[in-house]
């Protein structure tokens, strides 16, 4: 089963990935966890790893704490309590200074403003959660997104080493958007698989050659074609993210090797009194070009809604 949130044209700047062994939650908000969890941030992605707790239903006594699917805490309750306390204090002062009814009026006004602020905050968070989370339960779907997230995290973390050689701004927002688009496609494919399964089950016992059997076969064929298109799109996006991370890794490896070699050359030349070697920036030109090409291919991918 996959819970697919409505995309709503959302462009996330940061994503959280939380896996409790039953499901992977990908969200633009920090998901609630029924227990403690480790948060590991690299670039625009934070991996939330729940610590083990006692949970029934598994092969082991302890399993990772469950990741909640409800709307994360928005702070509305804290605003409410703080506002209520403030209103009570002001009301008490008003009652002492101007009489009971003046204090009551001040308290009512203060509580009204507090409730309005809390509701506005909760509504905003609820909308973000509805439009900005995906729940993947199928193991292969979770692996696709998690592998892509590793590539995104590595690219973002290593990018500062390229900044002096590659004339591009911080790619973190673009990487987050690409990972989110990939997640939406994976969720869409999982939903299509569920539809196909239901169509296949509906065909059990239906006589061959009947109009109903023909209609079911047509719907299954269309679903299969849609699944093939989704899989091709997902594979292409995974490849682009992997290629960019691979080119970045090759650049970093070559940069480190050149730096070590030139440090050794300088050390030897200093002992001999020879001039220092030339700058190595030109030697990195090939990998710089490859990184730029991989980045362009990645950013030219259309969003899921425009396929």
For the stretch 238-259, pLDDT in tens is 999 999 999 888 877 766 665 5
No. of H helices and E strands in the chain?
6, 8
229: tokens are 């298109």
101: tokens are 């009814």
| Mean pLDDT, rounded, of the chain | 78
133 in Cβ contact with 26 (< 8 Å)? yes
Q: What does the pLDDT read at residue 115?
A: 56
291 in Cβ contact with 244 (< 8 Å)? yes
Q: What does the pLDDT read at residue 229?
A: 97
Residues 6+ apart with CB under 8 A from 151: 241, 242, 244, 245
Higher pLDDT, 274 or 116: 274
Strand, helix or coil for residue 3: strand
Q: At which residue do the structure tokens 């509701």 appear?
A: 119
25: tokens are 């939650």
Q: What does the pLDDT read at residue 6?
A: 43
- The share of the chain scoring above pLDDT 90, in percent, equals 43
Q: Sign of torsion, CA 131 137 138 139?
A: positive
Would the pTM count as exceeding 0.85?
no
Q: Which helix (H) or strand (E) holds 252?
A: helix 211-272
């Amino acid at each position: 089963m996959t819970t697919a949130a409505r995309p709503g044209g959302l462009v996330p700047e940061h994503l959280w990935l939380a896996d409790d062994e039953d499901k992977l939650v990908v969200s633009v908000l920090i998901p609630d966890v029924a227990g403690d969890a480790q948060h590991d941030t690299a670039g625009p992605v934070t991996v939330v790893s729940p610590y083990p707790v006692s949970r029934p239903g598994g092969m082991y006594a302890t399993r990772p704490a469950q990741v909640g699917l409800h709307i994360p805490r928005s702070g509305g309750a804290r605003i409410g309590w703080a506002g209520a306390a403030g209103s009570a204090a002001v009301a008490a002062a008003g009652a002492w200074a101007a009489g009971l009814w003046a204090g009551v009026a001040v308290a009512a006004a203060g509580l009204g403003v507090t409730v309005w602020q809390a509701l506005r905050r909760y509504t905003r968070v609820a909308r973000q959660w509805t439009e900005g989370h995906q729940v993947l339960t199928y193991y292969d779907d979770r692996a696709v997104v998690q592998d892509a997230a590793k590539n995104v995290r590595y690219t973002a973390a290593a990018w500062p080493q390229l900044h002096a050689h590659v004339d591009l701004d911080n790619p973190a927002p673009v990487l987050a958007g690409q990972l989110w688009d990939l997640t939406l496609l994976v969720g869409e494919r999982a939903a299509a698989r569920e539809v196909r399964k239901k169509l296949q089950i509906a065909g059990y016992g239906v006589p061959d050659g009947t109009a109903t059997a023909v209609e079911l076969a047509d719907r299954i064929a269309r679903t299969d074609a849609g699944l093939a298109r989704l899989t091709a799109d997902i594979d292409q996006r995974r490849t682009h993210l992997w290629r960019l991370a691979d080119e970045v890794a090759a650049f970093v490896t070559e940069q480190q090797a050149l730096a070590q070699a030139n440090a050794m050359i300088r050390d030897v030349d200093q002992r001999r009194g020879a001039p220092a070697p030339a700058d190595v920036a030109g030697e990195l030109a090939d990998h710089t070009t490859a990184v730029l090409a991989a980045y362009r291919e990645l950013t030219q991918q259309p969003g899921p809604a425009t396929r």
